């Protein structure tokens, strides 16, 4: 049976103009013309941030456009595959399902085949045993009795499997994670993941500029809610 | 005039494989193969949790699949009808509208007719007058002058009508509520509703396992943001 | 090439009845029959609140219906154009894109043409230099070094341009902003924007009743999470 899933076409620039000439102007001149060309974060990085927003917020209309742009900006199909898998765990299974629907069509259009995608069981990246032991102890001490199922899957599936998948470098995996957290207002989890991102090689300039990207794509208020947490992380790392 | 509403088909397992073989594996082997079979919460309970996530987050693509699974898992059409009505109030009217669009088709496919649905004005469950008086006084003292309209509808419509509808048992109604709260990051309202859920008969094991279900279907960060609140409720109830 | 975008039809009242006779009753008798007719906030104001919820939460199915209702309630096409542009910045670009898709069709049906829409570069409203200087200093002192890109666009693009666009009065622009904040649970930004709204002429009665409208359209929990912030703003303004 033919799969009948189809995503609606995104509105064109002419559609934007027919509703808001100002928004069409801001889209071409500021968003695409200025923001995406700022040097503090690569276009590849901006694509990773923006895809993470759209997937984590289930905003499917613009997703095909930004998937194609991501491929053009040097995000590989294998990395997109891993981003979607990562966000199944970090934003909920149905968000990944929506992203699969969009990516399937884009991959088909671009001639991307299974051989270009990461395998189910790759050779994992090496585990930082000390850091993972500390994380596991913290979660176990605090929540092991409250939510044993969560604690078990967090260790076995997330930190000993998902985060060690080599198809997406830890720095990029972290960028996906913090982008999704800011985009969905989950600042309580942002501090630890921003520290992890910077431990994984994301510079302060890049993290700061990711917030600029997020302001436009996830809305100003989410970024302002994140700023005190980001400032605190930057300050504490500078003090060491 | 024929109603032309149609929801897009959800991506198939083959679609998942064409984008992420790993995600297809996690879906079949871990999500469906392991998580949904854990004994700490019934499949019926897991269906109630998952439907609540999808409705409260307006994730319509997977909703028909999980509506059918819910019926297969022993959630009745009458209960689904009540879940959608409950989430109109607890997650916003347009979320209920999206769920109606999905459920209408599923009900038609399964031959479910109006006679199987709860009436508009059923004989209500008995009201716990003391508990409701305390709730009303707390809200009135704190917010009665700030938001008289909210206070009025909360009493008359929610606690003296919606929560007393017998088509969904209070325990299940509470499970819907806490699932929606966790799935949308609204932890400020979680403590009182988790206490209410446990007063209504949800066991600590079930509440804990609902979090495992929510980790997969609403994303790990929402669950970790909820965990301190859940731990606090469990601790305080254990101390009494 | 013809644009093939099409939004699904919203479920009819008959669809509501086929899934939940109770929800159909609440929709006609309470939501539309009672809530929307309460005198504390005009129907025009209620339309602005409700559109803001639907756009900021990307709930596209009901959007055409409520866009038409907004036009009927005296919200002009120019104002709708500005609301969508405003929420691009205050809720993320893809939400505006979804709203464009819906509004384009409604505008076409109603014969609304480009001449009725605000220009790209209108004569701006006068800037309150003292208030803006204080805001800029606060953000600069706290976050200027942490997120220079965000600080720069916030000043140049938001407060010296977007907020000064005359197509939507500051009072209405504020109502859009606080509605979107409550509807997406972003209470950390609510206090300053509610104060701004009341400085811009929104009365306490109207702000309070906006919460009643939001309870139904964005869900009770979001309103209860907002209430302590709202109470604090009302109390502090009364004490001055």
A26 Cα to chain B: minimum distance (Å) = 28
What pLDDT does residue C240 have?
A: 78
Mean pLDDT along residues B201-222? 98
How many separate domains does chain C show?
Answer: 2
CA torsion, points C78, C81, C82, C87, in degrees to nearest 10? 160
Q: Does residue B201 lie in a domain region?
A: no
Q: How many CA atoms lie within 13 A of B12 on its CB side?
A: 7
Residues C119 and C202 occupy one common structural domain: yes
Q: Does residue A217 lie in a domain region?
A: yes
Q: Does residue A176 lie in a domain region?
A: yes
Mean pLDDT along residues B152-178? 98
Residues C209 and C138 occupy one common structural domain: no
pLDDT of B5 over the 90 cut: no
Residues C142 and C234 occupy one common structural domain: no
Residues A200 and A110 occupy one common structural domain: yes
Residues A99 and A130 occupy one common structural domain: no
Residues C31 and C149 occupy one common structural domain: no
Domain that holds residue A132: 126-164
User: What is the count of residue pairs from A and C with beta carbons less than 8 Å apart?
Assistant: 167
Of C12, C16, C211, the CB nearest to B150: C211
User: What is the count of residue pairs from B and C with beta carbons less than 8 Å apart?
Assistant: 166
pTM: 0.97
Domain boundary among A110, A138, A164: A164
B93 Cα to chain A: minimum distance (Å) = 19
Q: Does residue C178 lie in a domain region?
A: yes
Contact A92 B21 (CB under 8 A): no
Profile chain A (240 residues) by mean pLDDT over runs of 10 residues: 54 95 98 98 98 97 96 98 98 97 95 96 96 94 96 97 98 98 97 98 98 98 98 95
ipTM value, please give it.
Answer: 0.96
Residues C62 and C155 occupy one common structural domain: no
pLDDT digits (tens, 9 = 90+) for A32-47: 999 999 999 999 999 9
In a 10 Å sphere around its CB, with 0-12 CB exposed, 13-18 middle and 19+ buried, how is residue C231 labelled? Answer: middle
Q: Would you tell me how many other CB atoms lie within 10 Å of the CB of residue C228?
A: 16
Q: In this complex, which chains have at least 3 CB pairs below 8 Å with chain B?
A: A, C
SS (H, E, C) chain C: CCCCCCCCCCCCHHHHHHHCHHHHHHHHHHHHCCHHHCCCCCHHHHHHHHHHHHHHCCCCCCHHHHHHHHHHCCCCHHHHHHHHHHHHHHHCHHHHHHHHHHHHHHHHHCCCCHHHCCCCCCCCCCCCHHHHHHHHHHHHHHHCCCCHHHHHHHHHHHHCCHHHCCCCCHHHHHHHHHHHHHHCCCHHHHHHHHHHHHHCCCCHHHHHHHHHHHHHHHCHHHHHHHHHHHHHHHHHHHHC
Q: Does residue A9 lie in a domain region?
A: no
Contact B118 C10 (CB under 8 A): no
CATH at C176:
1.20.1290.10
Nearest to C91 by CA among A186, A222, A185: A222
Domain boundary among A135, A164, A193: A164
Residues C54 and C139 occupy one common structural domain: no
Q: Does residue C224 lie in a domain region?
A: yes
Chain B residues close to C41, C-beta within 8 Å: none
Of A18, A31, A228, the CB nearest to C93: A31
Residues C113 and C52 occupy one common structural domain: yes
Chain C residues close to A12, C-beta within 8 Å: 3
What pLDDT does residue B10 have?
A: 87
Which of C10, C17, C18 to mutate: most B Cβ within 10 Å? C18
Chain A residues close to C5, C-beta within 8 Å: 8-11, 15, 61
Residues in chain C: 240
Residue C67 tokens read as 């866009």
Nearest to B89 by CA among C227, C23, C56, C59: C23
Of C59, C62, C211, the CB nearest to B147: C211
Residues A134 and A24 occupy one common structural domain: no
Residue C9's pLDDT band, with cuts at 50, 70 and 90, is: confident
Element (H, E) at B63: helix B63-72
A215 Cα to chain C: minimum distance (Å) = 7
Contact C216 B89 (CB under 8 A): yes
Contact B90 C40 (CB under 8 A): no
Q: Does residue A10 lie in a domain region?
A: no
pLDDT digits (tens, 9 = 90+) for A123-145: 999 999 999 999 999 999 999 99
What pLDDT does residue B7 have?
A: 63
Q: Does residue B23 lie in a domain region?
A: no
A205 Cα to chain B: minimum distance (Å) = 25
Residues A63 and A98 occupy one common structural domain: yes
Residues A202 and A223 occupy one common structural domain: yes
Spatial CB neighbours of B218, under 8 Å, sequence gap ≥ 6: A92, B53, B57, B179, B182, B183
N- to C-terminal Cα separation, chain A:
60
């Amino acid at each position: 049976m033919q799969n009948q899933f189809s995503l609606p076409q995104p509105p064109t620039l002419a559609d934007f103009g027919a509703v808001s000439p100002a928004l069409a102007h801001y889209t071409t001149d500021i968003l695409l013309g200025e923001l995406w060309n700022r040097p503090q974060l690569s276009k590849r990085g901006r694509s990773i941030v923006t895809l993470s927003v759209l997937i984590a917020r289930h905003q499917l209309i613009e997703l095909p456009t930004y998937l194609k742009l991501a491929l053009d900006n040097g995000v590989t199909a294998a990395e997109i595959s891993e981003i979607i898998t990562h966000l199944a765990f970090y934003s909920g299974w149905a968000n990944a399902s929506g992203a699969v629907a969009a990516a399937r069509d884009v991959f088909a259009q671009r001639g991307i085949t299974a051989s270009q995608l990461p395998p189910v069981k790759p050779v994992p990246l090496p585990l930082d045993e000390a850091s993972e032991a500390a994380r596991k102890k913290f979660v176990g001490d605090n929540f092991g009795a409250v939510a044993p199922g969560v604690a078990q899957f967090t260790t076995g599936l997330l930190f000993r499997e998902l985060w060690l998948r080599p198809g997406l470098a830890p720095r990029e995996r972290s960028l996906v994670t913090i982008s999704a957290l800011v985009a969905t207002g989950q600042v309580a989890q942002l501090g630890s993941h921003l520290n992890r991102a910077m431990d994984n090689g994301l510079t302060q300039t890049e993290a700061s500029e990711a917030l600029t990207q997020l302001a436009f794509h996830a809305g100003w208020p989410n970024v302002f809610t994140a700023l005190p947490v980001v400032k605190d992380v930057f300050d504490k790392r500078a003090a060491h």
